[in-house]
Chain A
Amino acid sequence: MKALMCAAVLLPILSGAALPLFRFKKRLHREIYVETAVLLTSAVVLALLLRRPEGTLRIFRLTSTLEIALRLDGLAGVFAGLVAFLWPLASLYAFEYIKHEGGDDRFFACYTMTYGVTLGIAQSANLITLYLFYELLTLVTLPLVMHTGDRRSVRAGFKYLGYSIGGAACAFLGIMVLYACGDPALTFVYGGFISPDTPRRTLVLAAYLMTFFGFGVKAAVFPFHSWLPSAGVAPTPVTALLHAVAVVKAGAFAVMRVTFYCFGSAVLYGTWAQYAAMAFAAFTIVFGSSMALREQHLKRRLAYSTVSNLSYILFGVSLMTPAGLVGALSHMVYHGVMKITLFFCAGAIMYKTHREFVPELTGLGRYMPVTFTAFTVASAALVGIPLLPGFISKWNLATAALAEGGLFPVLGVAALLISAMLTAAYLFTPVVNAFFPPENRGRHGLEQAQDPNWLMKLPFFVLMAAMLALGVGSRGLLALLSRVAAGQL
């Protein structure tokens, strides 16, 4: 069973790397190849989740203490499960979408390899393995961001590279402190491996902030957020899956690992480092939403919305309690499902009508009913309308924060709600415009607009069903997440 963990990582990486060698002549053959690889990987992950292997798989040693090793604990399971659910759907969507972009071989090679790298991040058993995959993730996704190859995307790519490498370097300094003050093997342990009465407390706290912001770069925490909206120039499957789920959640996931499994909440709880992290997260929540409201480009608007929502997760983490972690994890899962739907809709609109700006969507609702229904449901979910998942995670985050008392958590809850109002403002405007166009506006030129074909529609239906299911009946999932957050899994 343990070897399967390695297989889950290697299978997509190898099949992705091998993809250009096949020199597929027909598009269909390539699609079958990719989807098979992705589905196989997801099946492996599913098997792993159902019969979770105990213990650590050591791959090789770097130094006398450091080693590359994989382990699948509860936290890893949540992230891996989320990714494994979304990847096959996103691939289906990508097959259709990429027809307009070209460069299929390079695209799908990198796209599939990213899957493996993400699973590597999820299953890392220690910080150095995580760091390795984290850097790999930056490199393997870079060609995807630059895929279009025009000036804007190349610049966005460099920006992404600069921010990510810079962040990782910053985090690396923190890792050095962990190495020196804690465990030289850097193995993840629930509760952390730094003793609460460490003599070098200030250094440890400073190091925490460095890792928080370093890994936080990928989670787009203010002030290191601006790569994410720029990276929206990438093809939509990339923005949908990577910039709403895999890459950004990898950042949030790394922050969770560092907070709960390296430093440990016992060391950080109640310190200025915690409050600093919390304050930045809370600020980013409001800031991201305000920027989204200002932004008229649909994909960039959604990207700013992601900035805001990622900080919900970071805010939950920064509470440093199991309840906060439950909120963070639930929002990680729910936001993944909701945001990928929104991006898929934005992509479908761009693909069918070449419209990118919010005012241009006026009146489209009638012509693309499935797309816009999905968009509406996902918007309502993200705002936090009950019966849909966003509400539950918000509720969990807020109650966890209020259980803490004190000024910062209450301000954080206020930030959550202000952000929810802003979310309603920036997402319902396109919805209302699309379904209730002002008279005689935006009607012409829409006749050809229609819903995309089943490759794109199937993900919509699956995701809507997933949202409703998660919203109404997520009791089991929440019970699972609270066990994960308590370190019992």
Chain B
Amino acid sequence: MKDYILLLPVLLPMLGAFAAYLVGRVSKTAKDYMADAAGLAEFILCATLLAYAASGRELSLAVPGICGRGIFFRLDGFRAIYAGIAALMWMCTTVFSREYLGHYRNRNRYYLFTLLTCGATVGVFLSNDFFTAFIFFEIMSFTSYVMVVQDEKPGAMRAGETYIAVAVIGGMVMLMGLFLLENRLGTLNFDELHAAVESMADLSPLYLPGALILFGFGAKAGMFPLHIWLPKAHPVAPAPASALLSGILTKAGIFGVLALSARVFLHDSVWGNAILALGTVTMVLGAVLAVFSVDLKRTLACSSMSQIGFILVGVGMQGLLGPHNSLAVWGTGLHMINHSMLKLVLFLCAGVVYMNLHKLDLNGIRGWGRNKPFLSACFLMGVLGITGVPLWNGYVSKTLLHESIVEYIELVAESGAPTGIYHVVEWLFLISGGLTAAYMTKLYVAVFVEKPDKSFEDHKPYMNRQSALVIGIPALLLPMMGLLPSGIMARAARLMESFMDPSLPWRDAGEQPIRWFSLTNLRGAAISLAIGAAVYLLFVRQVLMRRDGNGRKVYVNLWPKWLDLETLLYRPILQNALPFCGALMCRVLDNLTDWLVSLLNHTLLRRKPIPPRRDEDYAPGDYVPHVHRSYTLQRISGSVSFSLLLFGLGFCAAMGYLIVILLTK
């Protein structure tokens, strides 16, 4: 019976959403409190569940009959952590929203859909089969659409269009994959999938469904080549919503990829290589785009894409390393947690900037943060965390991921196969880390270090206490996590590993504890930071900044247009080529039957028109119609009764003939 508590984290925010909406129609203040209360209650609930799961216990729940097949939930370490992070993020952003959205229209709608998304997202993380995950994933996709288009500006609408198109297409492709997977394995339940796969001799029939499901989840995670929506949708949403989109909704996609990797393609090297390749491209592309961007939130969005790439590299490594994958598993899990927390802090800081200036481009907000030590410190925590500076949290997970690549190179070398390609991956990994440092430095220097062009009109205070609290506490957590890797990070990783690789917990009981700050580990970070410094000084300062008319250096937008797959490839295909062919075909086919009938009417079945009775026929007096006679005849011969008459005559003749024949026999 106590298992039913698992429904609560899903239902509570959803009910809270409707309650807040109804309350909001009466009183705006009451609605704000209502939404905050819902966020807080959700957080307390999820924290309790996390404490429960941390003690090694699990819950699982099956509610048969919902949506035709029933839904399955399960609470283990990974899910508890992610439900907890989701709840934390929602609580912080909801509190922050009150100030941020203070002057917005449609706030009621915003809260309604944000809280609905919260319930759905937690639902995804708790789900224990692909069907349940799909249900909540779809709900999440559609409710979060409203978060993206909250502003209703043309840019937001266009980004929203892309977002929902990717969501719909991704969802349907994933559904096809699920159909095929269930058809081939007979189950979609996470607990049963592995056994079903074991019984198969050959995995090759599973690659097609796997790829289709990956398409759906990968689209939400922002994986190349389905990343197109991410750099557009994240910047246009209100900042608290961006934090959620970047920090947690992408992780729902990763959750699906992990489930697929750990339950269906566990330790499969083909799958691992595919994910690794996609992850590497995503990682590099996101970082490159972020370096070029001159918009605060857009840089952060591209950075999210890049970090998702890091995570995917870890997932790929899990598959490749097979039974030796504990480093990759830990790195992946921890980098997910780190990225969620980092993006929460960074996007909320960006939100503070936007809330005050209503601008996001670096030239416009330049130097605004100079005399704001609190905000500057919070942002700096995020910068140091995400660049992977030792003693901050990002260092831990990036090091683990890097070590896992190194470990695999050694393994490959032992087996005698060529290792070249994995060396390339390693260097791309380090370079992406360097680019991360470069673009984050660019942001930090632009907003908090450089002198402003003109002094800003400052409202004092620039944010209220609640907002400061929800930015400050998560920002404080970042160095704490980095300083106590064995205390916090390792324990979290231990909790998560059973989900990410079910064979792990009983495998490496006696393994050596990781030496976090050993020389080899520090070396990787040092290489990355050196690359980052070089890129920043030589490329960002020299190429991406030009002197304007007043002799002052400004950031120029050299955003590489040719990298935009959407305008160059997807939109033309979906909006021009396909509709043209489709419309042509449809138009022809739609009228096929009617045209056929019409054709027959004009050829084989042509009816001779009965000439209309003309007025002249009745002309009085001296006018003599000269065609009178032939006309009458024509009308008689064209009438039905005439036909019947002829038919009757023919019939009589035939009967007569028959009678004659019969009589003469």
Interface residues of A (CB under 8 A from B): 162, 222-226, 287, 290-291, 293-294, 380, 383, 385-387, 391-392, 395-396, 398-399, 402-403, 413-414, 417-418, 420-421, 424-425, 428, 432, 436-439, 471-475, 478
Chain B residues 589-614 with CB under 8 Å of chain A are 589-594, 597
Contact A472 B66 (CB under 8 A): yes
18 contacting pairs across A/B (C-beta < 8 A): A290-B583, A294-B579, A294-B583, A294-B587, A383-B168, A385-B139, A386-B138, A387-B135, A391-B135, A395-B69, A399-B179, A402-B183, A414-B176, A420-B172, A421-B168, A436-B157, A438-B157, A439-B154
Q: A402-B183, A438-B154, A472-B66 are in contact. Are A421 and B590 (CB under 8 A)?
A: no
- Best-surrounded residue of A392, A402, A418 (most CB of chain B within 10 A): A402
Contact with A along B157-177 (1 / 0, CB 8 A): 100100010001100110110
Contact A380 B142 (CB under 8 A): yes
Contact with A along B351-367 (1 / 0, CB 8 A): 00000000000000000
Contact A439 B153 (CB under 8 A): yes
In the complex, whether B149 has a CB less than 8 A from a CB of chain A is yes
Contacts of B590 in A (CB 8 A): 225-226, 291
Q: How far is the CB of B205 from chain A (nearest CB, A)?
A: 12
Contacts of B152 in A (CB 8 A): 436-437, 439
Contact B66 A224 (CB under 8 A): no
Q: Could you list 7 further interchain pairs (A-B, Cβ under 8 angstroms) beyond the known A391-B135, A471-B67?
A: A385-B138, A414-B176, A428-B168, A432-B164, A436-B160, A474-B68, A475-B68
The residue in chain A whose Cβ has the minimal distance to the Cβ of B142 is A385
Contact A413 B179 (CB under 8 A): yes
Contact B594 A392 (CB under 8 A): no
In the complex, whether B582 has a CB less than 8 A from a CB of chain A is yes
Q: A226-B593, A399-B182 are in contact. Are A424 and B168 (CB under 8 A)?
A: yes
Q: How far is the CB of A375 from chain B (nearest CB, A)?
A: 15
Contacts of A293 in B (CB 8 A): 579, 582
Contact A287 B589 (CB under 8 A): yes
Contacts of A222 in B (CB 8 A): 589
Set B67, B149, B164, B597: member contacting A472, Cβ < 8 A = B67
The residue in chain A whose Cβ has the minimal distance to the Cβ of B168 is A424
In the complex, whether B64 has a CB less than 8 A from a CB of chain A is yes
Contact B65 A475 (CB under 8 A): yes
Contact B64 A475 (CB under 8 A): yes
Contacts of B90 in A (CB 8 A): none
In the complex, whether B649 has a CB less than 8 A from a CB of chain A is no
Q: How far apart sit A222 and B586, CA to CA, in the bound complex (Å)?
A: 11
In the complex, whether B292 has a CB less than 8 A from a CB of chain A is no
Q: How far is the CB of B122 from chain A (nearest CB, A)?
A: 15
Q: How far apart sit A293 and B582, CA to CA, in the bound complex (Å)?
A: 10
Contacts of A473 in B (CB 8 A): 65-66
In the complex, whether B229 has a CB less than 8 A from a CB of chain A is no
Q: How far apart sit A387 and B139, CA to CA, in the bound complex (Å)?
A: 8
Contacts of B582 in A (CB 8 A): 290, 293-294
In the complex, whether B180 has a CB less than 8 A from a CB of chain A is yes
Q: How far is the CB of B270 from chain A (nearest CB, A)?
A: 23
Q: In which size bucket is the chain B interface?
A: 35 or more
Contact A287 B139 (CB under 8 A): no
Contacts of A471 in B (CB 8 A): 67
Contacts of A402 in B (CB 8 A): 179-180, 182-183
The residue in chain A whose Cβ has the minimal distance to the Cβ of B152 is A436
Q: A294-B583, A392-B67, A438-B157 are in contact. Are A403 and B142 (CB under 8 A)?
A: no
- Best-surrounded residue of B69, B589, B591 (most CB of chain A within 10 A): B589
Contacts of A291 in B (CB 8 A): 586, 590
Contact B67 A290 (CB under 8 A): no
Contact with A along B557-587 (1 / 0, CB 8 A): 0000000000000000000000100110111
Chain B residues 134-155 with CB under 8 Å of chain A are 134-136, 138-139, 142, 149, 152-154
Q: A386-B134, A396-B68 are in contact. Are A417 and B139 (CB under 8 A)?
A: no
Q: How far apart sit A424 and B171, CA to CA, in the bound complex (Å)?
A: 11
The residue in chain A whose Cβ has the minimal distance to the Cβ of B137 is A386
The residue in chain B whose Cβ has the minimal distance to the Cβ of A423 is B168
Contacts of A225 in B (CB 8 A): 590
Q: How far is the CB of A246 from chain B (nearest CB, A)?
A: 23
Contacts of A424 in B (CB 8 A): 164, 168
Contact A223 B172 (CB under 8 A): no
Contact A417 B135 (CB under 8 A): no
The residue in chain A whose Cβ has the minimal distance to the Cβ of B585 is A290
Contacts of B149 in A (CB 8 A): 432, 436
Contact A224 B593 (CB under 8 A): yes
Q: How far is the CB of B484 from chain A (nearest CB, A)?
A: 41
Q: A395-B68, A403-B183 are in contact. Are A417 and B173 (CB under 8 A)?
A: yes
Question: Which 5 pairs across A and B sit closest by C-beta, in order of nearness?
Answer: A475-B65, A386-B135, A392-B68, A402-B183, A424-B168
Q: How far is the CB of A75 from chain B (nearest CB, A)?
A: 20
Contacts of B164 in A (CB 8 A): 424, 428, 432
Q: How far apart sit A424 and B593, CA to CA, in the bound complex (Å)?
A: 28
Q: How far apart sit A318 and B589, CA to CA, in the bound complex (Å)?
A: 22
Contacts of B136 in A (CB 8 A): 386
Q: How far is the CB of B118 from chain A (nearest CB, A)?
A: 16
Q: How far is the CB of B500 from chain A (nearest CB, A)?
A: 26
Set A380, A399, A417, A438: member contacting B172, Cβ < 8 A = A417
Set A162, A224, A413: member contacting B176, Cβ < 8 A = A413
Contacts of B160 in A (CB 8 A): 432, 436
Contacts of B134 in A (CB 8 A): 386
- Best-surrounded residue of B160, B172, B173, B593 (most CB of chain A within 10 A): B172
The residue in chain A whose Cβ has the minimal distance to the Cβ of B183 is A402
Q: How far apart sit A294 and B582, CA to CA, in the bound complex (Å)?
A: 9
Contact with A along B276-311 (1 / 0, CB 8 A): 000000000000000000000000000000000000
The residue in chain A whose Cβ has the minimal distance to the Cβ of B173 is A417
Contacts of B586 in A (CB 8 A): 287, 290-291, 294
Contact A399 B139 (CB under 8 A): no
Q: How far apart sit A215 and B179, CA to CA, in the bound complex (Å)?
A: 31
Q: How far is the CB of B432 from chain A (nearest CB, A)?
A: 34
Q: How far is the CB of A432 from chain B (nearest CB, A)?
A: 8
Q: How far apart sit A472 and B138, CA to CA, in the bound complex (Å)?
A: 15
Q: A420-B172, A436-B157, A439-B154 are in contact. Are A223 and B67 (CB under 8 A)?
A: no
Contact A478 B593 (CB under 8 A): no
Contacts of B138 in A (CB 8 A): 385-386
Contacts of B593 in A (CB 8 A): 223-224, 226
Q: How far apart sit A271 and B269, CA to CA, in the bound complex (Å)?
A: 42
Q: How far apart sit A392 and B175, CA to CA, in the bound complex (Å)?
A: 12
Q: How far apart sit A226 and B597, CA to CA, in the bound complex (Å)?
A: 12
Contacts of B67 in A (CB 8 A): 386-387, 391-392, 471-472
The residue in chain A whose Cβ has the minimal distance to the Cβ of B212 is A417
The residue in chain B whose Cβ has the minimal distance to the Cβ of A304 is B590
Q: How far apart sit A437 and B138, CA to CA, in the bound complex (Å)?
A: 24
Contacts of B153 in A (CB 8 A): 439
Q: How far is the CB of A234 from chain B (nearest CB, A)?
A: 19
Contacts of B180 in A (CB 8 A): 402
Contacts of A380 in B (CB 8 A): 142
Q: A385-B142, A439-B152 are in contact. Are A223 and B592 (CB under 8 A)?
A: yes
Contact with A along B60-92 (1 / 0, CB 8 A): 000011111100000000000000000000000
The residue in chain A whose Cβ has the minimal distance to the Cβ of B184 is A402
Contacts of B69 in A (CB 8 A): 395
The residue in chain A whose Cβ has the minimal distance to the Cβ of B69 is A395
Q: How far is the CB of A330 from chain B (nearest CB, A)?
A: 8
Chain B residues 166-203 with CB under 8 Å of chain A are 168-169, 172-173, 175-176, 179-180, 182-183
Contacts of B65 in A (CB 8 A): 473-475
Q: How far apart sit A383 and B590, CA to CA, in the bound complex (Å)?
A: 23
Contact A223 B589 (CB under 8 A): yes
Q: How far apart sit A380 and B145, CA to CA, in the bound complex (Å)?
A: 13
Q: How far apart sit A473 and B67, CA to CA, in the bound complex (Å)?
A: 6
The residue in chain B whose Cβ has the minimal distance to the Cβ of A398 is B179
Contacts of A417 in B (CB 8 A): 172-173, 175-176
Q: How far apart sit A117 and B463, CA to CA, in the bound complex (Å)?
A: 70
Contacts of A414 in B (CB 8 A): 176
